[in-house]
Homo-oligomer: A and B are copies of this chain.
Amino acid sequence: MTPSRPLTLQTIADAVGVSRTTVSNAYNRPDQLAPALRERILAAAHELGYSGPDPAARRLRSGRRDAVGLLLTEGLSHAFTDPAAGLLLQGIARTIEDAGLALLLVPDRDGVLDAVVQSLCLCALPEGHPNVEAALARRLPLVVVDEPRLADHAYVGIDDRRGARLAAEHLLALGHRRFALLCGESATQRERRAGFREALDAAGARWEEPDDLAEALAADDRPTAVLAGSDQRALAALETARDAGLVVPHDLSIVGFDDIPGAAWSVPALTTVRQPLLRKGEIAGQLLTSAATARREVVLPVELVVRCSTARPA
């Protein structure tokens, strides 16, 4: 075994006795070559263990990137943790894959600056986040999912606030007057919280945002309904209610948001606000793939799905 310098086009060229250009053509422009010669070259390459032009060099020279980058809110592994994110990413991945591109999951700000990609997708990032700044600095085609809204960049999202109002109004219509709100601090969560409050305040209903739901449910004038900013939170609330000895929906109504698959399987099945996560991902994927810098904004519809976790207050 020779410790052998790394193999390059030139190595093969020398071995076969042709020029570097010809070897390059053997890989990239088969029509520029006598088929027989091409065969000889490829055979020699295989024999020497050369697997083709170096990807890094090829990218520098050609300007092609053949990959799109993905930035998520809560770190990279979040992609595989959160069912809602999973559905979105599935939509993106399908489209990207069909286009023959790779998907680069970017870990942090430095990763953004260093990513060899043709476009970047920002998923639910807080406005002003370092990653957003970095992405903007890259001057690449950007596609924003959900947040933040960026002038002159493609966008796909939903009307979170309206969805939240739908949920709240459903419970109000059932006769609920005392609510617990369960929302996080992300941009979309804030929108949803705002929607809940709008509807609730308009109806003059009472609401709180408990630090500890279990505690709130133990209170004397406990809430009769929970408005959750996501199905995951709603599912957790379901558990909390069960632990507290409350029967859903008889003692407590719960509404989620997203309509992840698990929402339909839970017992009782979750009433929730559906958003077309898969479709959202597909659209994001198309936006990422299309060379068109054309500014486009897509806002997808939301829809209340009434299942079994909501009822009139006892």
Residues of A within 8 A of B (CB): 49, 51-52, 54-60, 65-67, 75-77, 79-81, 85-87, 89-91, 93-94, 96-97, 100-108, 110-111, 113-116, 134, 137-139, 262, 265, 267
Whether A107 and B102, one on each chain, are in contact in the complex, defined by CB atoms closer than 8 angstroms, is: yes
Whether B51 and A139, one on each chain, are in contact in the complex, defined by CB atoms closer than 8 angstroms, is: yes
The binding surface of chain A is classed by DSSP as helix
Q: A51-B137, A114-B55, A139-B49 are in contact. Are A80 and B86 (CB under 8 A)?
A: yes
Whether A116 and B113, one on each chain, are in contact in the complex, defined by CB atoms closer than 8 angstroms, is: no
- Sample of 8 A–B contacts (CB below 8 Å): A59-B59, A77-B89, A77-B93, A79-B93, A93-B105, A97-B108, A100-B107, A105-B105
A104 is contacted by which of B77, B85, B104 (Cβ under 8 Å)? Answer: B104
Whether B76 and A134, one on each chain, are in contact in the complex, defined by CB atoms closer than 8 angstroms, is: no
Other 7 A-B pairs with CB < 8 A, given A96-B107, A102-B115, A103-B105? A51-B138, A54-B60, A55-B115, A55-B116, A56-B60, A81-B86, A265-B265
A116 is contacted by which of B59, B101, B139 (Cβ under 8 Å)? Answer: B59
User: How far apart are A102's CB and chain B's nearest CB, in angstroms?
Assistant: 5
Residues of B within 8 A of A59 (CB): 56, 59-60, 116
Cα A50 to Cα B248 in complex, Å, equals 56
Whether A89 and B94, one on each chain, are in contact in the complex, defined by CB atoms closer than 8 angstroms, is: no
When all copies of this chain in the complex are counted, the total is 2
Cα A114 to Cα B116 in complex, Å, equals 12
Residues of B within 8 A of A80 (CB): 79-80, 85-87, 89-90, 93
Whether B104 and A103, one on each chain, are in contact in the complex, defined by CB atoms closer than 8 angstroms, is: yes
Residues of B within 8 A of A60 (CB): 54, 56-57, 59-60
Whether B67 and A56, one on each chain, are in contact in the complex, defined by CB atoms closer than 8 angstroms, is: no
* 3 closest cross-chain pairs (CB), A and B: A51-B137, A77-B93, A103-B105
Whether B106 and A102, one on each chain, are in contact in the complex, defined by CB atoms closer than 8 angstroms, is: yes
Whether A55 and B93, one on each chain, are in contact in the complex, defined by CB atoms closer than 8 angstroms, is: no
A107 is contacted by which of B58, B101, B114, B116 (Cβ under 8 Å)? Answer: B101
Residues of B within 8 A of A100 (CB): 107-108, 110-111
User: How far apart are A190's CB and chain B's nearest CB, in angstroms?
Assistant: 25
Residues of B within 8 A of A105 (CB): 93, 102-105
Residues of B within 8 A of A103 (CB): 76, 104-105, 107
Looking at A57, A81, A105, the one whose CB has the most chain B CB atoms below 10 A away is A105
Cα A91 to Cα B265 in complex, Å, equals 26
Which residue in chain B gives the minimum CB-CB distance to A63?
Answer: B56
Cα A107 to Cα B100 in complex, Å, equals 7
Residues of B within 8 A of A94 (CB): 76-77
Residues of B within 8 A of A65 (CB): 56
